[in-house]
Amino acid sequence: MSSTYGEWIREQRVAAGLTQQDLADAAIMTRSHISHIEAGRRVPSQDDARRLDKALNTGNVLSRFRPQDDVAVADYFEAGRQLEQQATTIREFALSYVPGILQTEAYAQAVLRIAYPPRGTEERDRLVVSRIERARILDDPLTPVVSVLLDEAVLRRPIGGSTVMADQITSMIHLVERERVRIHVLPFGLGGHPLLLGMMTLMWFEDQPPAVYSEGAFMGTVHDSPGLVQRIQGTYDLALGDALPLKESVAFMRTIAKEYGHHD
């Protein structure tokens, strides 16, 4: 996400002699939200942009030239990564791969080995370390609250081979047993479900509007339009209602891990 828009807001705020808190109070927003907008990590909603225009006396510049709500980022996961680290609640849906914050080192290595163009060992190691760093948000026993929906395909595709998959699934089971995450499985027997179009991460924050990060081939998109976020959340809830309950999901995952030849 370009920071040019946010930088311009900061310049106008400073020129007006306002602190971030002053602007937040005038625009009926939080200081943290103002900070993220100025840093280019968030795009204000249309209503927020109008209130910022009024508070900064900038006519309709901010609302008229507001970046699109759905912005494909250059380093396409960077915007999603930053939001992930700030979130108090995360709800993941995975269609093809285990979500990054749940991946074991061996699974992450296997995923990166099949990327195109091929990556060298040094670059893969650097990316794996980055992925492990992301997973440290789970070191806190309470925050963020994490729920995950997995399509059965995530469990059935043997990324890295049987041993890697068995260990990966067992690692996720342990996270559930520790009550650190909740995982529900959407089994093949369900047939179609409303999330088949791709993976997504829904995120809520202490003092910012919610956002969704979705990902496709070679691109990632942050959505923070309130109407679209609400629609995606409703779609997620609909799919969750069709998923296996928590205990049944864990039993299902345990069975698949054993099919890969793993025994506790």
Structure-token match 């840093």, residue found: 39
Where does the pLDDT of residue 68 fall: very low under 50, low under 70, confident under 90, or very high at 90 and above?
Answer: low
Report which of residues 117 and 158 the model is more confident about.
Answer: 158
For residue 59, count other CB atoms closer than 10 A to its CB: 10
- DSSP states of 115-156: -SS---HHHHHHHHHHHHHHHGGGSSSSSSEEEEEEEHHHHH
- For 34, residues 6+ apart whose C-beta sits below 8 A from its C-beta are 20, 23, 24, 27
Q: What is the three-class DSSP state of 5? A: helix
- Asked, as a colleague might, if the bond just before 117 is cis with ω within 30 of 0, I would say yes
CA distance 76 to 49: 24
Put residue 144 in one of left, alpha, beta given phi > 0 → left and psi -120 to 50 → alpha. beta
Closest Cα partner for 62 from 48, 82, 73, 76? 48
* Of the candidates 116, 5, 137, the residue with the CA atom closest to the CA atom of residue 67: 5
Q: How far apart are the C-alpha atoms of 64 and 211, rounded to whole Å?
A: 21
pTM of the model: 0.73
Q: Which pLDDT tens digit goes with each residue over 191-221?
A: 999 999 889 999 999 878 899 999 877 778 8
Average confidence (pLDDT) over 89-103: 96
